[in-house]
Chain A
């Protein structure tokens, strides 16, 4: 479960303090497929970065799979990211001079798996996204949709509990976007919790739950869950 309670994120410059998130409360249960939508600058990506432990927050509480992340060291946060979270980005973020196999291999290397285990996971992940026959290709030899599939394979290879997707179809045409969306739904059906930031109301409508963020706050959630009381662990 992913749980945020009264999370605030503010940036202070010499002249002004900007609040990116204010009193942000959200619970994402295991197996959910949640889309987060809202206008530009509303705080969607900041939320996703905090959820993915890429940024810290100013105040409030954030529990990832029951663990309070506020006091974790860089190494612990990196470990947690590696083991429990998979990222999918709008611009795919594949490493251009690594072939598909080696791109999917990157998070597994940091996980410390042996050669055989890595090979099995890479092969399975690429098979799952339908690109097992192209594992020696470079990203530049693939279409945008295929590149995003590789990014999904990389995110899935570590078998994470959560998949965080930031505008995963933003750089794709509608046909490819639907194909990627279908893949994400399939992954969700198999048990992975997905949080997807998107501008696209049509894609948002395909998820089980939609959260609308405005001015750093959740202004609408179509399945409001009561936030449970969580004690510090």
Chain B
């Protein structure tokens, strides 16, 4: 009977193309608006490294003021001090670990045809690359030995390698930063992280940095602070070294802990470290350390912006309005079919059969509305890309999951919209309708 009902539904849609188009358009507009905002939210909140997001932990230590929490109600600061970051790195208690910071500097290639330019820097440790599965086009990251001995090595992003070396394998060649020659150990392939979860303290949807150099060059080259720098008390003394020894936070740290036991062990170590610092006169607040896995950290840092969520709910309200319009249109359409319904009831159709026939017709409107809505959603996403620029272009695309969600959502709302009109249709008393003809 399914194919029969489907044929009847198609015939019915063809019989009244104007009304059918209006219904399809109503559903399509609602689905288009909902899917545009839902796609942005879905991609903003998607797991950027699903196979190990439960093994990567962001480290927080509470070195903050005794009088107020770094973040209400009682959260530790979202970054570490230089002292804590370097001491945790020296202890090397995790399977993998990397403190990191962002900065910027002028890069020179030695090629007179290429002018020096300002590039974004990430200062990190050797474990950064394997920990976050950084894809390499040429070469590799550097070694822990390079970290410890402050060897000037560098990993280039693909766009920078294209710019400096025309896309060639530049491993072994040199670039100059702050008068120091850095040897290229590797070139990253295109690396798209949505969100760029390893540092969400400023903007979670930036692209990865231009170049990567060992963390300790922050101190060696006295590189400027990128991102947010927060202090609960002023540095004791003047100059760069005083800043590094202060209670100011500007450094992130991630550790890789493959098992729950590793996590527990590392957390105990953090607490012991905090006790040790208390004994040295630091960490005046009660012990309040945190280890958050990737998704917890994204949630904690509200990577999905509140206004994006508000937009999404507004779009769903719009879908509801479209749904109510569709209910009205379906009621109008089905009310013209009473003679057909009465006849079918008289010659053997049960109420359930009539209900199924009309619900299937609604679902078919849903499929058409969903397909058209997908086109509108794509147009909406193109609009968002043109409004918000590059970073969102990674977000603003419909993947297979979202396409499936769009169609299913569309069918679901159409069935919901069609339920009342279909119920009205199947409740038509056949005798009185046949008499009225």
Tally of A interface residues using CB under 8 Å: 28
Contact with A along B400-437 (1 / 0, CB 8 A): 00000000000000000000000000000111001101
Cβ–Cβ < 8 Å partners of B339 in chain A: 93
Query: What are 26 A-to-B residue pairs whose CB atoms are below 8 Å?
Result: A52-B346, A54-B345, A75-B351, A75-B352, A78-B345, A78-B348, A78-B349, A79-B348, A79-B350, A82-B347, A86-B347, A89-B434, A91-B437, A93-B339, A97-B11, A97-B15, A107-B348, A109-B4, A110-B347, A110-B348, A110-B349, A110-B350, A110-B353, A111-B348, A112-B1, A154-B347
B285 within 8 A of A: no
Residue with the highest number of chain A CB atoms closer than 10 Å, among B15, B344, B352: B344
Task: With both chains docked as a complex, state the minimum distance between the C-beta of B334 and any C-beta of chain A, in angstroms.
Answer: 15
Task: With both chains docked as a complex, state the minimum distance between the C-beta of A20 and any C-beta of chain B, in angstroms.
Answer: 11
Which chain A residues numbered 43 to 66 have a C-beta less than 8 Å away from chain B?
45, 49, 52, 54-55
**Given A49-B431, A54-B430: A74 and B346 within 8 A (CB)?**
no
A95 within 8 A of B: yes
Which chain A residues numbered 30 to 50 have a C-beta less than 8 Å away from chain B?
45, 49
Cβ–Cβ < 8 Å partners of B346 in chain A: 52, 54, 81, 87, 93
Cβ–Cβ < 8 Å partners of B351 in chain A: 74-75, 78
10 smallest beta-carbon distances between A and B, as pairs:
A82-B348, A78-B350, A110-B348, A54-B431, A49-B431, A107-B347, A75-B350, A55-B431, A91-B437, A93-B343
Q: Give the CA-CA distance A151 to B346 in the complex, in Å.
A: 13
A residues with a Cβ closer than 8 A to B are 45, 49, 52, 54-55, 74-75, 78-79, 81-83, 86-87, 89, 91, 93, 95, 97, 106-107, 109-112, 154-155, 158
CB pair A93 B437 closer than 8 Å: yes
Total residue contacts A-B, CB cutoff 8 A:
63
Chain B, Cβ-Cβ closest to A81: B348
B340 within 8 A of A: yes
Cβ–Cβ < 8 Å partners of B340 in chain A: 95
CB pair A106 B344 closer than 8 Å: yes
Which chain B residues numbered 354 to 388 have a C-beta less than 8 Å away from chain A?
none
Cβ–Cβ < 8 Å partners of B11 in chain A: 97
